[in-house]
Structure formats: structure tokens, C-alpha cells
Amino acid sequence: PSNNQCTLRGGQKQTGARTSRMSTSAVPVAAVCQVTATPDKEANFSACKHLLEEARQRGACMVFLPEGFDYIGASREETLSLSETLGGDMMSRYTQLARKLEVWLSLGGFHERGPDWENDRRIYNSHVIINNKGDIVSVYRKSHLFDVELPEKGVSLKESAFTIPGASLAPPVHTPIGKVGLGICYDLRFPELSLALQRHGAEILTYPSAFTVATGAAHWEVLLRARAIETQSFVLAAAQVGRHHEKRTSYGHALAVDPWGDVLGDCGGEKPGMVLVEVDLEKVNRTRRNMPVQQHRRDDAFYTSLSQI
């Protein structure tokens, strides 16, 4: 077994036997990855490439990388200077890798230069989906920006200082594991987003993240499980872990949750790795059929009726 294997809930380790069974299963397999990005883009690419190759070898048809997979800068200036366009070298390397490995990629938070970069030096935080032919098939730009001051927790981040909020949600993407609805990190705290994606056909929600240690310990798992339960969807959340530079550390615990809210895999809070998960859409269908929450939902006018008072 590889050093990159993570623990399944219940303390059970993924073994070679389980991996081979997954690889030959009729149910598609996703790999949810955990990395420690730094300001060194080349080292980050090398580490992610290794995880993608291993995931493919172990039978994954879609691989999920976290927010900031390309890099995590130590200052606003560094973050901006390292950014690229979707047509730049970094995305080109990932599209080539997807084509070579014949695997779908969820690249969960790319520092994309904004439309007026030369004048305003602002970027998008972009979640890019690449298919197994190397085509970019969807781009969702993070719509809820993390501007939070928690002095007692040592948390101080102002994403809006250099990031443009996305203008709209992206429709769920048809992939080999099912219809994937796209979010990024802080979006996790807004159930309106997950419910909108579910209403438009999402069977899987994904929240690639770089949660702080303080907010991660308090809220990460419970929020991911809540989103899975209320939408009756799989939730796959790739994560950053460990120390990125002297000013920033991430919580880790890349997680896979099923439509009932059970945690299928957890990458822990220590080191990079991955968890493989069988995405059995019959679980989604069965959960929604047995407890038809969406059919019980009232029309939009009911939920906005308080605003008329």
C-alpha cells in the first residue's frame, strides 16, 4: 500500500485488496486528494501529478484536487504575481495530463487572472473541470469570498482584497461518476448554493478547500455532512493540509460523504494523500426515493413569505 492512502471511517486502512476490488468495480471510483501547496508552483505540480498518476493506477476515473492546488502565496503580492490565465502554462500542463492519463480532473481553486488584469490586478478563484480528452468543460468562479476576522482564533483573511466574486453558479457537470455540482471552500457555508445545484440535477457536490485549522476543527465535517444530508447527495471535499509557509496552515481531513451523511473516507490532518470512494448513484436514488425531501419542499413563495410581512 502507498504512503498516500488515508483512513476509512472505523479505523480500517485501505488495503491492496480493497483497491483492486474498487478498480474492477462496475461502480465508478473517485479519488479525493489532500495536498500541502506552497509558493513553489513546480513542486506543487510535481506532487499533484504524482497523486493523479497513483489515483489513475488505482482505478479512479475522476480525481479531485483542493483549492490552491497550483500554489498558496505568502503575501498578496506573491499570490497575484504567480497567477495565470486559463490559457497559461499551468492549465496547459493539467489538460495534457488529463489527456495522457485519460482521467477527469476537478481542479478546485485556480488563481485565474481577471478580465481587467492589467488595470486592476485582481483574480478569480476558479474551479476548473477538465475531461479525459483534456478539454476544459466547466469553470466556476468562487462566489462567496472569505473575509473573516477571528482574533481569538488567530484567523484573519480578506479574500476580497484581491479576488473578484464569481457572477453566477455553474450548471452541474455530466461526468463519469455522475452530475457534479461545483462549489469552493467558503461556499460550503451557504446551503442555498447546494440546494440550487441539487435542484438542477446535481448528484455529487464538491467543495475543494483550504480551511483554517480553527474553523476546520469546529465546522468542517459537520458542514460537509449537513450539505450531504439536506441535498441527499454525495459530497467530495479535497483539502489542503499542513504548513504552506510561515503565515498559513490548513486543517486537512479531505472527506468523502455519502447521501445519508455517513463519512466514507477521511484523509486525516497530518499529511498529503488520497481516499478512493465508490460513487454508487443508486445510493442517491434510494435515499431520495425513501425520504422524498424535495417533493415535500414548498414553493419558493412559501419560503419568501416572511419578507412580505
- Active site residues per annotation: 67, 142, 185
The one-letter code for the residue type at 280 is D
Helix axes 221-231, 191-199, angle to 10 degrees: 30
Q: How far apart are the first and last CA of the chain?
A: 61
Distance CA 179, CA 203 (A): 5
Give the cell for residue 95: 489538460
Distance CA 77, CA 7 (A): 37
Query: Under a CB-based contact definition with an 8 Å cutoff, are residues 245 and 72 in contact?
Result: yes
Pairing between β-strand 255-257 and β-strand 263-266 as defined by DSSP bridges: antiparallel
Distance CA 274, CA 3 (A): 10
Looking up cell 492589467, which residue turns up?
Answer: 118
Query: Under a CB-based contact definition with an 8 Å cutoff, are residues 223 and 246 in contact?
Result: no
The one-letter code for the residue type at 288 is R
As beta bridge partners, residue 275 has 32
Going by C-alpha positions, the residue among 23, 18, 39, 52 that lies closest to residue 238 is: 52
Region of residue 35 (phi > 0: left; psi between -120 and 50: alpha; otherwise: beta): beta
Distance CA 110, CA 121 (A): 16
Buried b (16+ CB within 10 A) or exposed e, 30-41: bbbbbbbbbbeb
